[in-house]
């Protein structure tokens, strides 16, 4: 199985019988926007890594190296298509209008998520990987039932499909298998999007699968393709094509072959398990570099454009750095209120106890005229 590629690492473009037409249909601005999206996220990503190093974030999950896979795919979807992400889809989140300071909330641990899934047609991040693929299948079952009943949920599109994101590591989870069984059996409008970044923390993708992950789709009875995930044009064209196929009926799978250039998270040290040579080989396939070469060669963008993009990205990063300081943590009382939709006796009891307990400290402090005591 050879990944579909339109743009070679040196920036040369090769026509493809099926996929080139999707690129031909893109306007010049669309093509430039793909670069802008990738560059903005890369700059934001670096800022977030830096913020973590400075103790401002509990953790960061870099998307470095996977920008084209995500940018091409998300740009090929309709804004009404629902995305079920993992925790690394920062490019998709930015594209869906989610601000960096919203993305960061989970990682600053001020809240477990920072946006309303319905406002952005993108679910909040998933940490227990694989679980989201079943939610995606369930969401798709909802679409199917509403279409049959002629009773679409508020504001939803008739041709909506669902993007179920996962990585090579989560492909080993049982939930992913069950999701693909449900999707196949019920012919659900789900597009599985596997970013094979070659490493599940320290474990290579060969430990997850000895056959291409795209080949697994055939076992479930639907089509799977491999795409060069560092080629943003191929990522776009393949996603556009496969999304169209899903809209016509039934699930499909894309295995996006890419590489995690950074650590799994900021808590990880990749030099312990992979070679510098391997990383350098992938650096030569960098998704932004090759796309920039092509944009320049095609006269679609010049130095002025690229410096504008750099300037904008720097402003986004600066804004993130500023905004991080201003994010208030979700108060414990509000977190308690969010456990249930309807009142729950034990939560109410605990909340009342906490209030009374802490009020005692406040009174002591007031009497002593000192600062808040230790909890």
Partner 1 sequence: MTLMNHGQARRAESHAPSARSSRRGARGTRPAAPTPSSPDVVSTASSARSAQEAVGHDDGVETPAPPRELVLAKAITAALHDELAADPRTLLIGEDIGALGGVFRVTDGLQKEFGPRRVIDSPLAESGIVGTSIGLAMRGHRPVAEIQFDGFVFPAFNQITTQLAKISSRTAGKVHLPVTIRLPYGGSIGSIEHHSESPEALFAHTAGLRIITPSNAHDAYWMTRQAVRCEDPVIILEPKRRYWLKGMVDFSTPAQDAFTAQVVREGTDATIACYGPLVPVALAAAEAAAQDGRSIEVVDVRSISPLDDETIARSAAKTQRLIVAHEAPTFGGFGAEIAARVSERAHHRLVAPVLRVGGFHMPYPPSQQEHRYLPDIDRMLEAVDRSFSHPRR
Q: Which is nearer to partner 1, 147 or 279 (CB)?
A: 147
Q: Does 355 bind partner 1 (CB under 8 A)?
A: no
Q: What sign does the CA torsion over 259, 292, 70, 194 have?
A: negative
Q: Does 368 bind partner 1 (CB under 8 A)?
A: no
Pick one of 145, 283, 322, 355: the residue that binds partner 1 (CB under 8 A).
145
Q: Which is nearer to partner 1, 31 or 121 (CB)?
A: 121
Residue 34: name the closest of 168, 191, 232 by CA: 232
Q: Does 136 bind partner 1 (CB under 8 A)?
A: yes
Place of tokens 């909330």: 105
254: exposed, middle or buried (C-beta count within 10 Å: 0-12, 13-18, 19+)? buried
Stretch that binds partner 1, among 41-49, 86-94, 125-133, 264-272 (CB under 8 A): 125-133
Cα-trace Rg, the chain? 23
Q: Does 221 bind partner 1 (CB under 8 A)?
A: no
| DSSP-derived secondary structure letter, 8 | -
Measured CA to CA, the distance from residue 221 to residue 44 in angstroms comes to 40
Measured CA to CA, the distance from residue 221 to residue 336 in angstroms comes to 44
Between CA 286 and CA 64, with CA 272 as vertex, the angle to 5 degrees is 25
Stretch that binds partner 1, among 8-16, 63-71, 144-152, 195-203 (CB under 8 A): 144-152
Pick one of 210, 272, 345, 375: the residue that binds partner 1 (CB under 8 A).
345
**Backbone torsions φ then ψ of 54, nearest 5 degrees:** -90, 10
Q: Shortest approach of partner 1 to residue 351 CB, angstroms? A: 12
Q: Which is nearer to partner 1, 93 or 295 (CB)?
A: 93
DSSP states along 43-70: HHHHHHHHHHHTTS-S-----TT-HHHH
Pick one of 6, 37, 51, 134: the residue that binds partner 1 (CB under 8 A).
134
Q: Which is nearer to partner 1, 140 or 166 (CB)?
A: 140
Q: Which is nearer to partner 1, 273 or 353 (CB)?
A: 353
Measured CA to CA, the distance from residue 69 to residue 196 in angstroms comes to 10
Measured CA to CA, the distance from residue 342 to residue 140 in angstroms comes to 27
Stretch that binds partner 1, among 26-34, 45-53, 271-279, 336-344 (CB under 8 A): 336-344
* Cβ-based neighbours of 271, under 8 Å, separated by 6 or more: none
| DSSP-derived secondary structure letter, 250 | S
Angle between helices 174-185 and 131-149 (to 10 degrees): 20
Beta carbons of 120 and 113 less than 8 angstroms apart: no
Pick one of 223, 278, 319, 337: the residue that binds partner 1 (CB under 8 A).
337
Q: Shortest approach of partner 1 to residue 178 CB, angstroms? A: 4
Q: Which is nearer to partner 1, 3 or 85 (CB)?
A: 85
Q: Which is nearer to partner 1, 64 or 347 (CB)?
A: 347
Residue 161: name the closest of 48, 57, 249, 269 by CA: 249
Measured CA to CA, the distance from residue 254 to residue 12 in angstroms comes to 23
Pick one of 109, 335, 354, 359: the residue that binds partner 1 (CB under 8 A).
335
Pick one of 4, 137, 214, 233: the residue that binds partner 1 (CB under 8 A).
137
Total binding residues toward partner 1, as defined by CB under 8 A: 48
Pick one of 8, 46, 131, 300: the residue that binds partner 1 (CB under 8 A).
131
Measured CA to CA, the distance from residue 244 to residue 32 in angstroms comes to 23
Q: Which is nearer to partner 1, 151 or 280 (CB)?
A: 151
Binding positions for partner 1, 104-123, rule CB under 8 A: 111-113, 116-118, 123
Binding positions for partner 1, 313-332, rule CB under 8 A: 330
Could you count the other beta carbons within 10 Å of the beta carbon of residue 168? 25
Stretch that binds partner 1, among 8-16, 24-32, 176-184, 312-320 (CB under 8 A): 176-184
Q: Would you tell me which residues interact with partner 1 (CB under 8 A)? A: 111-113, 116-118, 123-124, 128, 131, 133-145, 148-149, 151, 153-154, 174-175, 178-179, 181-182, 185, 330, 334-335, 337-342, 344-347
């Amino acid at each position: 199985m050879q990944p579909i590629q339109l743009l070679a690492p040196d920036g040369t473009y090769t026509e493809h019988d099926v996929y080139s037409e999707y690129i031909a249909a893109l306007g010049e601005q669309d093509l430039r926007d793909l670069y802008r999206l990738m560059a903005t996220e890369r700059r934001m990503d670096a800022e977030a890594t830096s913020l973590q190093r400075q103790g401002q974030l509990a953790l960061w999950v870099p998307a470095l190296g996977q920008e084209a896979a995500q940018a091409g795919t998300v740009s090929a979807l309709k804004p009404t298509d629902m995305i079920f992400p993992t925790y690394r889809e920062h490019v998709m989140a930015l594209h869906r209008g989610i601000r960096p300071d919203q993305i960061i909330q989970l990682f600053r641990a001020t809240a477990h998520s920072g946006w309303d899934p319905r406002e952005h047609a993108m679910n909040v991040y998933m940490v227990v990987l694989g679980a989201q693929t079943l939610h995606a299948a369930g969401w798709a079952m909802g679409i199917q039932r509403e279409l049959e009943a002629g009773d679409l949920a508020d504001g939803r599109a008739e041709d909506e499909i669902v993007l179920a994101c996962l990585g090579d590591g989560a492909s080993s989870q049982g939930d992913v298998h069950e999701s693909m069984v449900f999707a196949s059996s019920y012919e659900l409008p789900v597009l599985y999007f596997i970013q094979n970044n070659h490493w599940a923390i320290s474990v290579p993708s060969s430990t997850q699968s000895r056959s291409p992950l795209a080949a697994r789709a055939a076992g479930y009875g639907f089509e799977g393709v491999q795409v060069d995930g560092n080629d943003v044009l191929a990522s776009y064209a393949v996603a556009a094509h496969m999304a169209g196929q899903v809209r016509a009926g039934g699930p499909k799978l894309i295995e996006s072959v890419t590489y995690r250039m950074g650590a799994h998270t900021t808590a990880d040290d990749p030099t312990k398990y992979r070679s510098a040579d391997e990383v350098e080989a992938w650096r030569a396939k960098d998704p932004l570099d090759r796309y920039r070469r092509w944009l320049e060669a095609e006269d679609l963008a010049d130095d002025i454009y690229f410096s504008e993009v750099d300037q904008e990205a720097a402003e986004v990063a600066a804004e993130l750095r500023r905004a991080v300081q201003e994010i208030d943590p979700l108060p414990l009382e509000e977190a308690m209120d969010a456990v249930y939709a309807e009142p729950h006796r034990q939560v109410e009891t605990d909340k009342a106890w906490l209030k009374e307990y802490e009020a005692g400290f406040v009174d002591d402090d007031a009497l002593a005229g000192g600062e808040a005591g230790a909890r």
